[in-house]
Amino acid sequence: MASAQMLTTWYGNDGRLHKAPVVTFEGVNKNYGQVQALSNFNMDVCGGELVALLGPNGAGKTTAIKLLLGLARPNSGKLSVFGGDPALTETHIRVGAMLQVGRVPETLRVREHIDLFSSYYPKPLPISETLASAGLEELRDRKFGVLSGGQKQRVLFALAICGDPDLLFLDEPTVGLDVEARHLLWQEIRNLLQRGKTVVLTTHYLEEADALADRIVVINKGSLIAQGTPAEIKMRTAGKRVRCVTQLPLELIRKLPGVSDVRADRNATVIHTPRAEEVLRQLLQLDVEISGIEVNSAGLEEAFLALTRDDDALSHSKQA
């Protein structure tokens, strides 16, 4: 595992220099009644890296974040943040969090929300800097209630970073943002990483994990099922995706050497293959009228679907 070789040093709450992961989960179990939200969960996050937690709805991503913020307690297992209990104030002052929230007090202004949250931290950023980082300068005197969905998300991001924390938890940070705002937020997250901050984010957008993450951790049904760099995860479903418009029947294409899967997609044909060049040469020979050729790496989406599908199949067979 690449991250295991990464040297990370940090000062713990005891003031001593440590060389260890910033965040560790060791065999953590958490259940809500009958529902097992996390089972025997192990994960490390090293300083300065961005880890994306990826998983379908109800996989346990938000539970993991809540445990790391001390908002919930594990039923068993050990977890630590900066070598200490995540629920302690000494830990909280070094952590920022952006959570999914139903409603924020609407009658306070953006600047006032940030002013209040900044006061909780020992060394907050100047309010103007926080406003600039979250792209909120123009909105500083607006009341929260009149903001658009995307603007509200940016305020929550501002509240997460206003204390200049070393470790940031972002729970689906770009939900409801338009493309431009999403890219701005990504840039801001990259800036934080450049300043040596550590980020753990959960997301539904695979493209987001691909664009930002040093490491992706795939969770399904409360268990870690795969982890690695985006490239490593994508390699799990090796190969390329070739899309083209051709008159050749699917059955014929399926029999070509090197083709692993073929399916029709509207008026085009999509071919999965580990050897794209060889398949393309054959296609061009067989069909001179072939058009609209696109070659892509098999995306994170395919890898993710394959991983969770395999895991689901495995757990079904175990149950049987």
Partner 1 sequence: MASSAATITPEVLRRPNLLIICAKEAKYEFLKNLRFPMFSVSTLVFPLMFYVLFGLVMGRQTIGSISTTVYLIPAYGTFGVMGASLFGTAAGLSSERGLGWLQVKRASPMPLFAYFSAKVLMAITFSTIDVVALMLMGFVFGGVHLTGMTAVKLLFTLVAGSIPFCAMGLAIGYFASPNSAPAVINLFLSPDVVLLRPVDAVHVSPQVRAENRSVSAAVSPVTIGFESGGRRTGRTGLRALGDAGRVYTALPGRGTDGASTRSESEWMRAMSVRLRMDSDS
Binding residues for partner 1 (CB under 8 A): 2-3, 5-11, 13, 15, 22, 46-49, 69-71, 89-90, 92-97, 99-105, 107-108, 112, 115-117, 119-123, 143, 156, 159, 163, 166, 169, 193, 196, 198, 214-215, 229
Apex 93 CA angle, 182 and 37, nearest 5: 65
Distance CA 318, CA 200 (A): 32
Shortest Å distance, C-beta 6 to partner 1: 6
Shortest Å distance, C-beta 155 to partner 1: 11
Question: Which of 89, 317 has the CB closer to partner 1?
Answer: 89
Q: Which helix (H) or strand (E) holds 272?
A: strand 268-273
Question: Which of 59, 69 has the CB closer to partner 1?
Answer: 69
Shortest Å distance, C-beta 120 to partner 1: 5
Shortest Å distance, C-beta 177 to partner 1: 18
DSSP per residue over 209-270, as a string?
Answer: HHHH-SEEEEEETTEEEEEE-HHHHHHTT-SEEEEEE--S-HHHHHHSTT--EEEEETTEEE
Question: Which of 60, 163 has the CB closer to partner 1?
Answer: 163
Shortest Å distance, C-beta 32 to partner 1: 15
Shortest Å distance, C-beta 290 to partner 1: 39
Question: Which of 96, 173 has the CB closer to partner 1?
Answer: 96
From 181, 183, 212, 175, select the one nearest 197 (Cα to Cα): 212
Question: Which of 123, 255 has the CB closer to partner 1?
Answer: 123
From 188, 148, 144, 140, select the one nearest 168 (Cα to Cα): 188
Which residues neighbour 121 within 8 Å (Cβ) at sequence distance 6 or greater?
93, 162, 163, 164, 165
Distance CA 126, CA 22 (A): 26
Question: Which of 93, 295 has the CB closer to partner 1?
Answer: 93
